[in-house]
Structure 1
Amino acid sequence: MTPNEDRKIREKFKQKTWNEIKTNDSWAIFKIMAEFVEGFERLSKIGPCVSIFGSARTKPNDEYYKLAENIAYKLTKHGYGVVTGGGPGIMEAGNKGANRGKGTSVGLNIELPFEQHDNPYIDPDKSLDFDYFFVRKVMFVKYSQGFVVMPGGFGTLDELFEAITLIQTKKIGKFPIVLVGRNYWSGLFDWITNTLLKEGSISEKDLDLISLVDTEDEVLEVIDIFYKKYSLSPNF
């Protein structure tokens, strides 16, 4: 992080008086409402899509970048569009693959002090900007027919567990959640099985909410089998 970026962060989070906090909160309501309205209006028109999550730090020569691009490409060939966070790394790879497949390529961008910038593979009319993470996450969940989770950090884990929680608690309908990269995710999956399940913090059936795969063909198989099983046809 550069000194200038550090200064901006410190200024953004400087101490405020209680009256300033109350005033800012009141006006923030209107901005939050505006983000929800724009998101609902624009994303309701995109058609069936799969969200691809992963690290913004993944470089184009990384195996997971190439894998994410191929997954996105094949998703478009199966009739799905692709939604990403709109930034670099895995997000860029997802949009790039969708663009290569001539499918819908959506970017839900977030304003961050570092890492995040728009990638050039988003459809010009399907690029949305958000200031609030929670509004953006609502859009991911509401307008996705599946989650493909590539290797990533805290943000990726946040999105993953939010989706699992909402499905587990039946706040949203069930859809496939696919973790890509057994070597990367196996430690987390083992902890979920050997600690959460063993301690009774989750139930055996909760494990069925997650699929662990390695290839793009396995991703497509999980998603297609899911929708055939429930006699649903999200593709067209």
Structure 2
Amino acid sequence: MKDRYTGPVLKRRHQAEETETTDQRLLDSRGPTDWVHTDPWRVLRIQAEFIEGFGALAELGPAISVFGSARTAADHPTYALAEEVGRKLAEANFAVITGGGPGSMEAANKGASQAGGVSVGLGIELPFESGLNQWVDKGINFRYFFARKTMFIKYSQGYVVLPGGVGTLDELFEALTLVQTVKVTRFPIVLLGTTYWQGLLDWMRDTQLAEGTISQRDLDFLTLTDDVDEAVALMVAARNGDLS
């Protein structure tokens, strides 16, 4: 049997026995619809998410991502802190990017929006959250975490990390890994809330650093503070190329 090509794919011997062509299958409306759940089709959806994200955010300008718990209640002090962060970042001419959800994310979006800044939400399809919060002025909802994470890093000049749970830790350590491996440069990461975050840093120093699994330089990438003005000043310094 002759060699058979299916697009760029070469098929020989028993692999070449199929006679139906790709465009024939495309134009045939009969048969099952399972193809919309196959990996090749998912690749197209993933590609579309990247294109939508790049297109929507390409002209965003300097931006800072703010992370924190979706469970933060509106009457919790952390909610007010997140709102202050959003407002002061907007006053410093940064767009504010959050995960678009409730809690601390909503508060940061609210602060930015009410200050006249650009309030961005990058949402994710989850079974227990629906839609973007009301203070998002430009929003994108993603199917895939990895596409969403790329947008946070690509269009942010720094991270402000408020008290949060597993998702917040995920974003924090991904950012730290990218800074450590020099995938991103001049990228400040601020942990806002000394009481909440000090125990984590103590463990990293007393266990990881002591065991030699991280270096002091890795810890130095993180700034711990309760001062919103200090956090914003670090972001401004990075924007101006003054971050050492």
Q: TM-score, normalised by structure 2?
A: 0.82
Output the amino acid matched with 1:200: G
Helix, strand or coil at the partner of 2:140: strand
Residue equivalent to 1:53:
67
Aligned to 1:43: 57
Q: How does 1:1-236 map to 2 (within 5 A)?
A: 24-123=38-137, 126-228=138-240, 230-231=241-242
Q: Given residue 211 of structure 2, which amino acid in structure 1 is its aligned partner? A: E
List runs of 5+ in structure 2 lacking aligned partners. 1-33
Does 108-117 or 137-146 show the bigger shift? 108-117
Larger Rg, first or second structure (1 or 2): 2
Distance apart, 1:52 and its partner CA: 0.4
Q: Percent identical across equivalent pairs?
A: 53
Deviations, residues 137-191 of structure 1 (Å, cap 9, x unaligned): 0000000011000000000000000000011011222310000100000110101
Q: 1:211·1:222 contact (CA, 8 Å) conserved in 2?
A: no
Please state how far the C-alpha of 1:104 moved relative to its aligned partner.
0.6
Aligned residues between the structures: 210
1:26 maps to amino acid: P
Residues 101-156 of structure 1 deviation map (CA, whole Å, 9 limit, x = unaligned): 10010010111001353111111xx2101000110000000000110000000000
Structure 1 gap segments, 5+ residues each: 1-19
Q: TM-score by structure 1 length? A: 0.85
- After the TM superposition, which of the residue ranges 106-115 and 21-30 deviates more from structure 2? 21-30
Q: Which has the higher contact order (CA 8 A, sep 6+)?
A: 1
1:178, 1:89 → 2: CA distance? Answer: 19
* Mapped contact 2:186–2:238 kept (Cα < 8 A): no
Shift of residue 72, structure 1, vs aligned partner? 0.8
Q: How has the CA–CA distance of structure 1 residues 114 and 198 changed in structure 2, closer, same or farther, with 3 Å as cutoff?
A: same
Assess, with a 3 A threshold, how the Cα gap between structure 1 residues 42 and 22 changes in structure 2: closer, same or farther.
closer
> 1: CA distance between counterparts of 2:152 and 2:54?
11
Instruction: Quote the offset at 1:194 in angstroms.
Output: 0.8
Q: Which amino acid aligns with 1:101?
A: A
